[in-house]
Each structure stands twice: as C-alpha cells, then as structure tokens.
Amino acid sequence: NKCIDIDQKQLLDLIPQQPPFLVISKATFGMAHDGAPVLHTFASFPVSAVKGHFCDCSVIGLMHNSRCLAQSGMLLSSLVAGTAAGIPEVIQTKMIHHDTARYFSSCATIETYVRCEKISARGNLTLISVSGVVFVRGYQAADTDEFTYVMVPREKHPSVAGKNNFLHNQQVEGISH
C-alpha cells in the first residue's frame, strides 16, 4: 500500500479553496485493503475562525467538522477523477452525524478520513460518492454516510475567473460603472 503525501501547495492546485477558506493543511492519499481510494487529512482553525460560534467560547463547532468533511471529499474527488475532469462540487449529502456531547478548543487538530465509495457518470458528467469520518483528539466527532460530488468543467466553475464566468463579469461591470 503506497501512500502519497500532499502538502499545502499541492492542495491549492487540486481544489479551489484558498486561505483562509482552505482549512486542510496536509493530506495523505492511498488505497484501502479492498482497493478503494482513501484520504487522511489534517486541519485546524485559528481562534478568530471559531470564536463566537458557540456563545463566546473558542470551540470547534459542527460547521467546522462539516467543512473538513466537505473539503476532504472534494480533495479525494480531484485525486480520483483527475483535475482535467473538472472541479468538484458537492451536489448531495445523505446524512451528517454530529456528536454534540463534546466540544474541543480551536487549537485541536481535526483529522478526517474519507473513502471513495462509487464513481459513475451521467451524460458527460462524472459523479463521485464518498463517505467520511472526523476525529478530534481521537474522539469521533462527526461522520457522513455519503457526499456526492459532480466534476464541474473548469471553464464553467465559479472559481475560474474569465470571460465565461458570470459572477466575475458582474463584478467587473459593477466596478467599471
């Protein structure tokens, strides 16, 4: 089982999130014993990103765990489909389970494990389904039965600035008037 380490620079090439919205700092890609592609990611949030989400405490909340799951699934989808296939976007979530019995401080590292469950096609679109689990200090804080991602062609994805990008064109037109 050969594993591939992915650093911050490589992450920036594989998914559209940029700091401060990119929360994954590093990842390891490999194959499960049954041959399914898997990914182990590490993330953390600065105090400024978590303060106020739960009263006035600096704790990791449910949205932070969900964000780690979503970005980890997005990264795995890019690795499985290849960046030429497009940029992954979540189109369906079956269920996210959060354990609200414990909360952790913002300095805790969040470890996420995601697994590719299925790759399929609809027309010319690639769909990738992943499952995942989030651990904080060894405690299972969240998991999902399934996230489904669609590989959006690069030229149609909102993160790609250019003539075909509606949001970019609206912003440029708004500035020029």
What phi and psi, each to the nearest 5 degrees, are found at residue 100?
Answer: -100, 15
Among 8-12, 65-69, 139-143, 162-166, the minimum mean pLDDT is found in 162-166
Q: Is the pLDDT of residue 23 over 60?
A: yes
Q: Confirm if 144 and 69 have CB atoms less than 8 A apart.
A: yes
Rounded Cα distance, 142 and 61, in Å: 11
pLDDT band at 56 (very low <50, low <70, confident <90, very high): low
* pTM (two decimals): 0.83
pLDDT tens digit string along 148-165? 999 988 888 887 755 444
Helical H segments across 57-129, by residue range: 62-81
